[in-house]
Amino acid sequence: MSLLDRDISVSSETVRPLIDQGLIHVNWFICQTRRLLLVEDVVDSVKLAVVMWLMTYIGAVFNGLSLLILGEKFNHPVRFCGLHLDLLVRGLRNFIFTLSSEKVLQNRLPGAVKRTKTG
């Protein structure tokens, strides 16, 4: 007998006790939440506030750790088809810097007027 031939339907007798148990848990959670947030017991409400405040710091630490992990992952030189892209980018930046200097640009542009410094 294959798995496709098996009957996998769920009967209402199986589901009803699970739903009843889940309903008990949901009602308990709602009552506890109302008790803590509406300050029925001051000590328990302060404990909840302190735990929530500490969880913000724990979240910040994990956020910082994830940034460190990502920074370490992308800090290594990138290779593309056996070439170091960092070297290519550095060379391109140097080339653009030399082209953007005033003397090189003025010599290459037709009709560029040379400026004289007036002091």
pLDDT of residue 58: 86
Q: How confident is the model at residue 118 (pLDDT cuts 50, 70, 90)?
A: low
pLDDT surpasses 60 at 95: yes
How does DSSP classify residue 101? S
Mean pLDDT is lowest, of 10-14, 52-56, 74-78, for: 74-78
CA 81 to CA 114: how far, in whole Å? 44
pLDDT surpasses 80 at 14: yes
pLDDT of residue 113: 62
pLDDT surpasses 90 at 69: no
* DSSP secondary structure of 18-70: HHHHHHHHHHHHHHHHHHHHTTSSHHHHHHHHHHHHHHHHHHHHHHHHHHHHH
Q: How confident is the model at residue 44 (pLDDT cuts 50, 70, 90)?
A: very high
Phi, psi dihedrals of residue 83, rounded to the nearest 5°: -105, 145
Mean pLDDT on 7-21? 93
